Amino acid sequence: MEMVREGAGDSGPKIRANSGKSRCHTDGIDPLESEMREDQIVLEKYGDIIHTDWKGVRRHPHADYRIRAAQFAPFSALSGYDDELARTARPVEEKTDLTESARLELDQKLRMILESPGQEEIEIEYFQADPCKKGGTYRKYRGYLKELDLNERSLCMEDGLRISMGEIRRVEIL
């Protein structure tokens, strides 16, 4: 291994290790002399602009930082892979069956609510099935009942949400 001295800069001479023979050695040219020749060629070609200050593009306004950030956003080689990971990691639970006493209590509360729909705020805990996996999650909803749809066996809430009566686990009148 041979040590080759590079050009002296502000921090003094730099030394790099040269393992084996370089192209310059095979041509019979000193590597240091070859580098100096290359530097001279660069200075001849670009010497007039090499030390000028660059003030940026003047004709075009800078893009918004969000647009510029999107250009350098991470690239997902497999489209949908992140969604699939999130779907797999999403916790699900099995739907629990109500006991007979809990079912009777739920029916009694639903009858009370149906006597005067839209007048009392209620909180409903219901099961929402996961469309992609077996199981689902229990959700809580707080709002006002609009109507009961007997054909669909569902509660229609004032904001348009429909909750199947078979999925309700608990109802509270607030």
pLDDT given at position 3? 47
- What is the average pLDDT score of the chain? 80
pLDDT band at 29 (very low <50, low <70, confident <90, very high): low
CB of 124 closer than 8 Å to CB of 165: no
Average pLDDT over residues 128-140: 91
- The token pair that represents 173 in the structure block: 């009148």
CB of 171 closer than 8 Å to CB of 123: yes
For the chain, domains (ranges, CATH) are 2-46 (no CATH), 100-173 (2.30.30)
69 or 21, which is more confident? 69
Model pLDDT for residues 58-82, shown as the tens digit of each residue: 777 778 888 888 778 776 677 788 8
Model pLDDT for residues 89-115, shown as the tens digit of each residue: 888 899 999 999 999 999 999 888 888
Task: Give the predicted TM-score (pTM) of the model.
Answer: 0.52
- The token pair that represents 168 in the structure block: 């309700």
- In the chain, alpha helices (H): 23-27, 31-46, 65-71, 81-89, 100-115
